[in-house]
Amino acid sequence: MNTSVRHIEADVVIVGAGPAGLAAARAATQSRSVLLLDDNPAAGGQIWRGASERALQSLTRRRETGPLASPRIQRMFGVRIFAGDAARRALRAETATGALQIRYRDLVLATGARELFLPVPGWTLPNVMGAGGLQAMVKGGLPIAGKRIVVAGSGPLLLAVADVLRSKGAKVVAIAEQAPARAVNAFAWSLLQHPAKLLQAAALRTMQWGIPYWTDAWPVACIGNQQLERVMVMRKGRRVELECDYLACGFGLVPNTELAQQMGCAMQGDFVKVNDAQLTSQPHVYCAGEVTGIGGVQKSLDEGGVAGSVLGAAPVTALAALQRSRARWRRFEASLNHAFALRPELSTLADDETIVCRCEDVTWGRIRAHSHWLEAKLHTRCGMGPCQGRICGAALGVMRGKTGWQVESIREPVFPVRAETLAALGARREENS
Ligand SMILES: Cc1cc2nc3c(=O)[nH]c(=O)nc-3n(C[C@H](O)[C@H](O)[C@H](O)COP(=O)(O)OP(=O)(O)OC[C@H]3O[C@@H](n4cnc5c(N)ncnc54)[C@H](O)[C@@H]3O)c2cc1C
């Protein structure tokens, strides 16, 4: 097949049309033209997946920024950016039918986060799913009325997921939160500083009246023949078996930093390092949202708003207001991460037969013989399948500790792409050089 390459020159390019990207787009269009890209078929990101255009307008509303439907915004969906070159200010992307070469003056990476999965015996059985993943499938039409579902893992996302499942007629058997009761209670008290969040949490729990919310509880095994039939949960030191049709499980979020890293942006721990204007260590490359820290939707909106306002030369007072709000949500981020820190027991859930790398079918017994990520990868092929270590790499960071177990050498393409896309873009690059 002959892949056609389309060339696009843009002023501000924003990768990711979730809350951060949408807020950045709104603000930047004060005075700039924006190209907003996302690999999903529509805007909204993880939290507003499937929301209507009108709903997105009101969800991202900020008085000090321009309209989301501005003629200055061009949107392209189903576009996956798989490489960037900060020196040339260029991106390379693939669509369902072709390839794109994009030039930008300024770039905002708002690529969000994915769920953290921790392998437990039996987790590869059908109907064991990510909490947010199952929620997305249900929002997309998966029928679950009458199904018994255990929701497990960590963080406030579990409540949001349970609520969606319940509203679609599922029977949520229990919510198993790994954090201890005292940490969850302290977090609840800290929400007094964020009344809107407190009300949201209270409303969610009220609607879930009758659904057990267990703290100090986490899944230790998934049991079934052809598919999941029961989940074994460790609860306050005792094992409890719960019959269910689905397990919706997520232990927090992992930032999608691969594109920023491949472009040479400096990191601060697990996240992309940014300054007060959301600018990274690379000139003209900004980052906003979960990619700089897992702090919830308001933090993403404020960071996107700051990046867009800087680019759109917004009035100083408007920018300062956003920066103050961002500081508040960063404090919320800190208390969230403190309360829902993962307990050490979670690093020992897998047994020797448990598959850790699902792409290449590599078990924990084979991986644990190795002393670091690269060695394990070379000897077992873990992390060498289509997900390129996005799932097993993050899990191993918890199971083995971060030192030596970070996914190394992030190179293009950061996502698997068709060979003909690489060939077409590669040929074009040689012509241009
Ligand atoms: C599975 C999941 C479900 C969630 N559900 C909820 C919920 O119900 N309630 C809640 O309060 N919070 C939820 N969250 C948390 C929520 O995502 C954040 O609070 C907030 O939405 C983050 O906004 P963001 O703009 O930073 O990132 P996101 O909303 O994640 O948006 C990032 C966007 O960038 C796109 N993208 C990433 N890389 C590329 C690339 N290379 N090329 C093109 N596009 C790319 C992604 O597809 C995505 O659309 C969920 C998180 C996850 C991972």
Cβ contact 262:411 at 8 Å: yes
Query: Is the domain of 270 the same as that of 365?
Result: no
Q: Give pLDDT, residue 64.
A: 42
CATH code, domain carrying 174: 3.50.50.60
pTM, 2 dp: 0.94
CA angle 270, 271, 275 (to 5 degrees): 145
Query: Is the domain of 44 the same as that of 150?
Result: no
Q: How far apart are CA 231 and CA 74, in angstroms?
A: 47
132 lines ligand 1 (CB under 6 A): yes
425, part of any domain: no
39 lines ligand 1 (CB under 6 A): yes
34, part of any domain: yes
pLDDT tens-digit profile of 109-134?
Answer: 999 999 999 999 999 999 999 999 99
CA angle 388, 47, 384 (to 5 degrees): 5
Reported as type and span, the H/E element at residue 392 is helix 392-399
pLDDT tens-digit profile of 312-339?
Answer: 999 999 999 999 999 999 999 999 999 9
Q: Which domain holds residue 324?
A: 5-114+254-338
Q: Residue 428 pLDDT > 60, yes or no?
A: no
47 lines ligand 1 (CB under 6 A): yes
Query: Is the domain of 282 the same as that of 393?
Result: no
Q: How far apart are CA 48 and CA 59, in angstroms?
A: 9
253 lines ligand 1 (CB under 6 A): yes
> Final residue of a domain: which of 198, 228, 250?
250
Higher pLDDT, 59 or 306: 306
135, part of any domain: yes
pLDDT tens-digit profile of 32-63?
Answer: 999 999 999 999 999 888 787 777 777 766 54
Q: Give the ligand 1 atom nearest the CA of 46.
A: 29
Say how many Å lie between the CA of residue 289 and the centre of ligand 1: 9
Query: Is the domain of 243 the same as that of 258?
Result: no
143, part of any domain: yes
Average pLDDT over residues 284-301: 96
Q: Atom 16 in ligand 1: which residue has the minimum CA distance?
A: 47
Strand partners, 174: 150
Query: Is the domain of 152 the same as that of 33?
Result: no
Q: Give how far Cα 229 sits from Cα of 124, 173, 242, 245, 355, Å.
A: 13, 13, 9, 6, 19
Grade residue 352 by pLDDT with cuts at 50, 70 and 90: very high
Query: Is the domain of 167 the same as that of 246?
Result: yes
15 lines ligand 1 (CB under 6 A): yes
Burial (Cβ within 10 Å: 0-12, 13-18, ≥19) of residue 74: middle
Say how many Å lie between the CA of residue 353 and the centre of ligand 1: 32
Q: Give pLDDT, residue 410.
A: 85
Query: Is the domain of 176 the same as that of 207?
Result: yes
Phi, psi dihedral angles at 379 (to 5 degrees): -90, -25
Q: Please tell me the least confidently modeled range out of 74-88, 92-106, 131-145, 413-427.
A: 413-427
Q: Give the ligand 1 atom nearest the CA of 114.
A: 53
Q: Give pLDDT, residue 49.
A: 82
Query: Is the domain of 310 the same as that of 353?
Result: no
Q: Residue 100 pLDDT > 50, yes or no?
A: yes
Q: How far apart are CA 165 and CA 151, in angstroms?
A: 10
262 lines ligand 1 (CB under 6 A): no
406, part of any domain: no
Q: How far apart are CA 254 and CA 358, in angstroms?
A: 18
Say how many Å lie between the CA of residue 47 and the centre of ligand 1: 6
Q: 197 is written with which tokens?
A: 């969040």
Q: Atom 35 in ligand 1: which residue has the minimum CA distance?
A: 16
Grade residue 1 by pLDDT with cuts at 50, 70 and 90: low
Query: Is the domain of 16 the same as that of 92?
Result: yes
> Final residue of a domain: which of 229, 250, 271?
250
Phi, psi dihedral angles at 366 (to 5 degrees): -80, -35
- Sorted by sequence, the CB contacts under 8 Å of residue 99 that are 6+ apart come out as 3, 4, 5, 6, 92, 93, 421, 424, 425
Q: 433 is written with which tokens?
A: 């050089």
Q: Please tell me the least confidently modeled range out of 90-104, 290-304, 350-364, 395-409.
A: 395-409
Q: Give pLDDT, residue 67.
A: 55
Say how many Å lie between the CA of residue 93 and the centre of ligand 1: 19
Q: Residue 12 pLDDT > 50, yes or no?
A: yes
299 lines ligand 1 (CB under 6 A): no
Q: Please tell me the least confidently modeled range out of 117-121, 401-405, 421-425.
A: 401-405
Say how many Å lie between the CA of residue 161 and the centre of ligand 1: 14
413 lines ligand 1 (CB under 6 A): no
pLDDT tens-digit profile of 244-269?
Answer: 999 999 999 999 999 999 999 999 99
Q: Atom 14 in ligand 1: which residue has the minimum CA distance?
A: 47
- Please tell me what DSSP assigns to residue 343: P
Query: Is the domain of 64 the same as that of 170?
Result: no
Q: Atom 13 in ligand 1: which residue has the minimum CA distance?
A: 47
pLDDT tens-digit profile of 205-243?
Answer: 777 778 999 999 999 999 999 999 999 999 988 999 999
Burial (Cβ within 10 Å: 0-12, 13-18, ≥19) of residue 294: buried
420, part of any domain: no
Query: Is the domain of 86 the same as that of 126?
Result: no
Q: Residue 415 pLDDT > 50, yes or no?
A: yes
Reported as type and span, the H/E element at residue 302 is helix 297-311
pLDDT tens-digit profile of 136-180?
Answer: 999 889 999 999 999 999 999 999 999 999 999 999 999 999 999
408, part of any domain: no
Q: Residue 427 pLDDT > 60, yes or no?
A: no
Query: Taking Cα atoms as reference points, which of 427, 433, 430 lies closest to residue 5?
Result: 427
250 lines ligand 1 (CB under 6 A): no
Say how many Å lie between the CA of residue 250 and the centre of ligand 1: 14
Q: What is the mean pLDDT of the chain?
A: 92
138 lines ligand 1 (CB under 6 A): no
Strand partners, 232: 221, 241
> Final residue of a domain: which of 219, 250, 281?
250
Query: Is the domain of 194 the same as that of 164?
Result: yes
| Total count of domains within the chain | 3
Q: How far apart are CA 182 and CA 363, in angstroms?
A: 35
Mutate to test the pocket of ligand 1, among 39, 46, 163 (most ligand atoms within 8 A of CB): 46
Q: Give pLDDT, residue 407.
A: 74
Q: Atom 34 in ligand 1: which residue has the minimum CA distance?
A: 16
Average pLDDT over residues 10-35: 95
Q: Residue 194 pLDDT > 90, yes or no?
A: no
Burial (Cβ within 10 Å: 0-12, 13-18, ≥19) of residue 409: exposed
107, part of any domain: yes
76 lines ligand 1 (CB under 6 A): no
